A and B are shown apart, each in its own frame.
Chain A
Amino acid sequence: MSRLTLPDPSSATSLGRAERWFAARGWHPFPFQREVWRAYLAGESGLIHAATGTGKTYAAWWGPLLEWAAEHPDEVLDLDAPIASGPAARRNAAAPLRVLWITPLRALAADTEEALRAPLVSLGIPWTLETRTGDTSPAQRARQGRRLPTALVTTPESLSLLLSRSDAPELFADLRLVVVDEWHELLGSKRGVQVELALARLRALRPGVRTWGLSATIGNLEEAAEALLGVGERETSARIVRGVEPKEVVVDALIPPVVERFPWAGHLGTQMLPQVVAAIEEGDSAIVFTNTRSQTEIWYQAILAARPDWAGRIALHHGSLDRGRREWVEEGLRTGELRCVVATSSLDLGVDFSPVDRVLQIGSPKGVARLVQRAGRSGHRPGATSRVTCVPTNVLELIEVAAARDGIRLGAIESRPLVERPLDVLVQHVVTVALGGGFHPDELLREVRSTRAYSELRDDEWRWTLDFVTNGGEALRGYPEYSRVVVEDDGGRWVVGDAGVARRHRQSIGTIVSDAQIAVQYLRGGALGSVEESFVARLKPGDRFTFAGKPLEFVRVRDMKAWVRKAPNAKGAIPRWMGSRLPLSRALAELLRARLDEASRGIYREAEMEAVRPVLEVQRRWSHIPRVDELLVERVRSREGFHLFVFPFEGRLVHEGLAALLAYRIARLRPITFSLAANDWGIELLAPEEAPLEQAIGEGLFAPSNLLEDVPASLNATEMAKRQFREIARVSGLVFPGLPRSGKTARQLQVSSGLFFDVLQRYDPRNLLLSQAHREVLERQLESSRLGRTLERLARAKIVITTPKRTPPLAFPLLVDRARERVSSETLGERIRKMQLALERAAG
């Protein structure tokens, strides 16, 4: 393989061109941008971290432009001449694919393309630049199928699809640079692992290709760089470049006027609406961030109802909306036509648009880094401060706002824990590579182990993976009708032979993150976006719901589309999307405990704590406010049974694991059935009879010992692994999302992941996808390392048990939580005899 010829990075003309282009616009390159350009031209790869909208895009983009200019001095326009449009690149004459730009959200692709296009045009670089995502039209797709543009903006899923093409090796033959935008968003997810594998593939197909990641500042940048660049022998060295210093961030909150009358918890709707509207009125433009897509819909409706005169000047933006709608919103923000956009993280990422005057955050930000990121959307001018105003959805959230401000002051920026060797993603990737020209196992193993995620992949896990994709694994040996990947007779390459396998695999590549999506479309008119199939499944014709900010009436499902018509007014359900609840970060959890400790000593610093004081005083009178070295346990008796509330303040994920563990340990003492709830602050164990709490504490309820036995056992007592298996089954191709042309054959292959889980447990208990489900629940879901540390802390804590007459404020949100796990040491027969048929739906 020939080495790339690199232009001399020291040559003055290389960087000079960029300097002049910036100067012509009255800009100056930042020192970090120059550093990246030089490094790129010297053949280096690296990671750039800085706040949103500080020039990361051009830091990465100008390297390949300067490289081209140096290679083609005659074709590039003289920048000293008046700026003119260069000749438009002709598709077939343009250079083949040189730059791949990977973006985590389809919603960002259009903005990115526009930002990248500006210098291309004025420099007259004859490149084609296009986007390829799930939104790309079939015609465009077909054109790209014949020839890819010189620079391609795409998503991880679309990149994997390209790698599954049989001509993949030729497609990337001239690739120089892969940019992974918003790397921190992908990191720590299976999509991030999918990107790691794709990058390893690209490095194998095209040795010497450079990789640059763009990231917000996170706590574990070294690991982030390693995941991006791989751990194998690198041809290029890794460099971590820090961008512009962050601006000063101001965090404040809208304080409810009468805290005592404000509900303590639960979903409060939009009680703070008047204050939110007033805050929006303070400036010419505003973004209202919410934590979930459903909340976006709710708040959009509420603001519009409060200010009907803003119709047409406010909009909503989230990742499930149709591309055309999102683009209209982004454009409106740019031109200043929109005075307010209600959005999810689909707008806190991405390339620049002009900063807005006001940024509001509905609900707790749940993490320090996330709040800083969102604040960055205001006051983009250099030196200006960023300000974000938090809007509590319950009184207690004000404490999290105060804690987040402490976090910014202390620079407590969170790390992103990484995913270790998920075999479902590997199974999917191996089939992808088998489709994309095939592989030799030893070569592919070296490549896979060069990623950080699979650097510790064991030999037996690799053998199992190969076995699984060829003959279905141990339990299927000798089933001639089964074959997914086959070994070619000549040359011994592993390939996919069957067209049906190929088609189903390509259809399932894009489904790592979500359930099957159904497009929502007007009977007469355009597409609105997509919602989860499970939401549509609950609708009956004539039902009303709200989506994309529009009141709609459901008509029918046909051709994998939910057909709707306009409804006269907004009422009925709002779609919910899975996986939208973020847990409280560890850094924020610790700061929260410190704030409560102060409150327990009567110290209420700053407006938020002052405001929440009356509620915390109720907590103190009815029960107790825990100090940092205490663990509060409340026992409350109600009509529902006996409640135990425990408050470790460690975040929901840790609490889910801890709840199962505590329930399991108590249930060992005598037959009892618990239903469990967990939130970011604590745990509820609810049983029809009183639990032997003192005995359990005496026998080590909170002891950090025996975790290796107790944690998996408690996990088996719940359905957590089974639920985790949903995603694994989808990624590894065991179950399929609803297929666009669901004929009879497809229907015969429909099965729930839960049934698959049960069948594997019974008939193939050593299947590694099952152990992966358990491992994922332990490591990712429950953050088991954090669980161990939590128990060590709790073991040292002084346990304070109170028996309040009524449910105190801290426990209240748990009481109303409906999502529950169960742990029982009774036989099924015993339990059934105490239960009744759930008749409410039939009766209601």
Chain B
Amino acid sequence: MSAADGARIHVRGEELVLLPDRAAYWPARATLLVADPHFGKAATFRAAAIPVPAGTTEVTLGRLDALVSRTGARRVVFLGDFLHAHAGRAPATLRAIEGWRARNGSLEVLLVRGNHDRHAGDPPRELAIECVDAPAVEPPFALVHYPAPAAEGYAIAGHLHPAASLVGRGRQATRLPCFWFTAEYAVLPAFGEFTGVATVEPDPQDRVFVIAEDQVVEVR
């Protein structure tokens, strides 16, 4: 993997690679960190007769495949909100996730439960995804869903679906999904295809990396 594939940041002595595909890679542990995939969200809508087009699950899983093969990750940690809702456990959606798991049989997978997982339930046992409540302590990090300082280490979280608001000369403005690093915790962008964003308001001393198409760019 080359540097062009992402931005590197050192946190508490560990290197993380921030990838333009809205995930972070932790080389020392060969671990891919993925927040908020929200699988089955489109199916949840369809079950309520709201016509969301098909294909979001497949594309989300396809991106995950590509990331695993490109980084050589041996493990994936989902930082919560793996399934969107109970109504989204549609057979087609679960089959697609099973297909992904079958393609990546040797991959170790951990889910740190988030707020949606509580209602949606854990992924089916056959998927061999280990499920734990936050935090998953992996020094120097505490892997969690809700962004908040953690006693166990520097917290890496999801939940917010963060985006940063940018301005420039000539009254330019735009808003892009971002990675947000505060002194005590980091927030990763939402990974799922059918997920929105929420604008966050970083402090001046925070570090923010926006995703501009195929690049990750630090902004100040």
Bound form: Cα–Cα A821–B115 in Å: 36
Bound form: Cα–Cα A820–B167 in Å: 12
Q: Please name the residue on chain B nearest to A843 by beta carbon.
A: B204
In the complex, chain B residues whose CB is within 8 Å of the CB of A481: 43, 46-47, 90
A470 to chain B, nearest CB (A): 10
Counting CB contacts under 8 A, is B2 at the interface? no
In the complex, chain B residues whose CB is within 8 Å of the CB of A752: 196
| Pairwise interchain contact A755-B217, C-beta atoms closer than 8 A | no
| Pairwise interchain contact A759-B174, C-beta atoms closer than 8 A | no
Bound form: Cα–Cα A828–B175 in Å: 11
| Pairwise interchain contact B201-A842, C-beta atoms closer than 8 A | yes
| Pairwise interchain contact B92-A688, C-beta atoms closer than 8 A | no
| Pairwise interchain contact A686-B166, C-beta atoms closer than 8 A | no
If A473-B51, A500-B48, A842-B203 touch, does A832 touch B172 (CB 8 Å cutoff)? Answer: no
**Interface size band for A:** 35 or more
Counting CB contacts under 8 A, is A831 at the interface? yes
If A688-B172, A749-B50 touch, does A836 touch B43 (CB 8 Å cutoff)? Answer: no
Of residues 144 to 167 in B, which have CB atoms within 8 Å of A's CB atoms?
164-167
If A475-B54, A752-B196, A759-B193 touch, does A831 touch B45 (CB 8 Å cutoff)? Answer: no
In the complex, chain B residues whose CB is within 8 Å of the CB of A833: 217
| Pairwise interchain contact B217-A832, C-beta atoms closer than 8 A | yes
Of residues 92 to 124 in B, which have CB atoms within 8 Å of A's CB atoms?
92, 116, 119
Bound form: Cα–Cα A688–B119 in Å: 50
| Pairwise interchain contact B173-A822, C-beta atoms closer than 8 A | yes
A533 to chain B, nearest CB (A): 16
| Pairwise interchain contact B53-A839, C-beta atoms closer than 8 A | no
Bound form: Cα–Cα A180–B60 in Å: 51
Bound form: Cα–Cα A75–B175 in Å: 70
Bound form: Cα–Cα A734–B52 in Å: 8
Of residues 755 to 806 in A, which have CB atoms within 8 Å of B's CB atoms?
755-756, 759-760, 763-764, 767
Residue with the greatest number of chain A CB neighbours at <10 A, chosen from B44, B52, B204, B210: B52
Counting CB contacts under 8 A, is B55 at the interface? yes
Counting CB contacts under 8 A, is B56 at the interface? yes
Counting CB contacts under 8 A, is A834 at the interface? yes
Q: Please name the residue on chain B nearest to A505 by beta carbon.
A: B49
| Pairwise interchain contact A734-B51, C-beta atoms closer than 8 A | yes
In the complex, chain A residues whose CB is within 8 Å of the CB of B212: 828-829, 831-832
In the complex, chain A residues whose CB is within 8 Å of the CB of B166: 832, 835-838
Bound form: Cα–Cα A500–B170 in Å: 49
Counting CB contacts under 8 A, is A498 at the interface? yes
In the complex, chain B residues whose CB is within 8 Å of the CB of A500: 48-49
Bound form: Cα–Cα A831–B166 in Å: 10
Bound form: Cα–Cα A686–B201 in Å: 27
| Pairwise interchain contact B53-A476, C-beta atoms closer than 8 A | yes
| Pairwise interchain contact B53-A831, C-beta atoms closer than 8 A | no
Q: Please name the residue on chain A nearest to B214 by beta carbon.
A: A829
In the complex, chain B residues whose CB is within 8 Å of the CB of A649: none
Q: Which residues of A contact B (CB under 8 A)?
A: 468, 472-473, 475-476, 479, 481-484, 498, 500-501, 504, 640-642, 673-675, 686-688, 733-734, 744-745, 748-749, 751-752, 754-756, 759-760, 763-764, 767, 820, 822, 827-829, 831-839, 841-843
Can you name 10 A-B pairs with beta carbons within 8 Å? A479-B54, A482-B49, A483-B49, A500-B48, A642-B170, A748-B44, A748-B84, A827-B213, A838-B167, A839-B204
Q: Which residues of B contact A (CB under 8 A)?
A: 43-56, 84-85, 87, 90, 92, 116, 119, 164-174, 176, 193-196, 201-204, 208, 210, 212-213, 215, 217, 219-220
